[in-house]
Structure 1
């Protein structure tokens, strides 16, 4: 199983530093979720782990090798990323979209193979999208469209999948549908999944490992039941709350003070 880590990682845009001298190691075969306030660097960190953002300092390692020394196609055989709110060309079908996931495994002289076809169909079946493969992506509902994009990452056939806010703009039902799908992929296929989520309670429910980011560094990381505390929520999100236990899953639940109104912590 492929490994992903970073050492002394510094990230930013122009003169602005977003992440400063950060070390992180992603647990293999688990679901890791990045949490933190708006603008804290969660998505920036995720993008750097996929080599979509060049570090200002430090390095990202894939299987112990510096990613900036690896070929893009070699990285794409081990790691897939689903960016936030991806857009497909108008009229592109689900099948045509998912086929793009096989690009890292092909060359100019290599024709479409039975293995490629099986990988695409397996990905569509895993996401329950096989019956929609001939539909245009832009004609799908939000939840269906997100499953189509996840199918593309699965067709890429990598151990590691990175997702930047995969539930953005989805209603509650479709958020749970997508997160259940990702949880099942981890449980059944053993994928290492890393994602950014804004909903702290959903993060605590689905993650094996949570990384809280604040002030350009990792504020805390570990199992949800170990790190999701009133103190963390106050320090990271500037919100007073109580932490209770989910009656179904036993995971931490954050209950804000103030009858639904956010009260800034002192």
Structure 2
């Protein structure tokens, strides 16, 4: 059974259709990454999977059950989402932020418990934020802040985690740090992770399953090594490239053609050949 899936899902804003009758199945226990050009609907699709957006048509199924019919707290116990660029109230500490992940388990009969505190501590430890627990979120670096938000989603203790561009605004070192953290969570705890990423090479390196979106639907999906080729990159991103193999991980590696530079190099090559 898939962790989460859609059946004839259509999404839009007003009269503008963004996703049209899309069917997708997210493999359980794997890392799935949505790729595509800006504005193709990646983030819109991710939001709909978390029931943050009402479909214009079709349905989202959470482990086979219509997510629209499930109680909100029940959904929150199965699925967590980290939107792009979340903001915490000024003065909120990391520990206080991570505690918010336990909201689905609180009610007037069940107050804060030892189990809740243990979940928070595990989340802080998994994200290496224990030493920063008393720091305010707004005093952290970009990478630390992102780890704090991920800790909050971990404290929610869901089997499925959705992340919208978790590496945005981070430098290369912190991008790898965040993606390594998510990869380890998947490897060690078999969490199902669904992400939107802009960097195609990082998507290929970390994903088990890629979903390329174009023209309001799925253009291609599957394992990176079976999906990524020059034709896909050209058709989905309108970019010419060479696809080779990452020497470290054996995953597809896309080398873009710089349009102006290629024209100059081609002219130089033609001049050289003519001279011979």
What are the within-5 Å matches in structure 2 for residues 83-232 of structure 1? 83-232=83-232
- CA change 1:188–1:41 in 2 (3 A) is same
- CA change 1:138–1:191 in 2 (3 A) is same
What are the within-5 Å matches in structure 2 for residues 244-255 of structure 1? 244-255=244-255
TM-score w.r.t. the length of structure 2 is 0.93
TM-score w.r.t. the length of structure 1 is 0.97
Shift of 1:262: 8.9
2:243 maps to 243
Structure 1: runs of 5+ lacking an equivalent? none
Shift of 1:261: 5.8
- CA change 1:201–1:61 in 2 (3 A) is same
1:43 maps to 43
Q: Deviations over 1:65-87 (max 9, x none)?
A: 11111111000000000000000
Shift of 1:257: 1.2
* 2:2–2:25 CA contact under 8 A, matched in 1: no
- CA change 1:262–1:233 in 2 (3 A) is farther
After TM superposition, which residue ranges in structure 1, 4 or more long, deviate above 6 angstroms?
none
Structure 2: runs of 5+ lacking an equivalent? 264-276
- CA change 1:197–1:102 in 2 (3 A) is same
SS of residue paired to 2:154:
helix
2:33 maps to 33
2:273 maps to none
1:12 maps to 12
Shift of 1:109: 2.5
Q: Deviations over 1:22-48 (max 9, x none)?
A: 001100000000000000000000000
Counterparts of 1:2 and 1:84, CA distance in 2:
25
Q: Deviations over 1:83-103 (max 9, x none)?
A: 000000000000000000000
Counterparts of 2:259 and 2:19, CA distance in 1:
35
* 1:239–1:262 CA contact under 8 A, matched in 2: no
What are the within-5 Å matches in structure 2 for residues 38-77 of structure 1? 38-77=38-77
Counterparts of 1:192 and 1:122, CA distance in 2:
18
* 1:67–1:75 CA contact under 8 A, matched in 2: yes
Counterparts of 2:144 and 2:259, CA distance in 1:
34
* 1:240–1:256 CA contact under 8 A, matched in 2: yes
RMSD: 1.4
- CA change 1:55–1:262 in 2 (3 A) is farther
Larger Rg: 2
Counterparts of 1:52 and 1:37, CA distance in 2:
22
SS of residue paired to 2:19:
strand
* 1:243–1:254 CA contact under 8 A, matched in 2: yes
SS of residue paired to 1:77:
helix
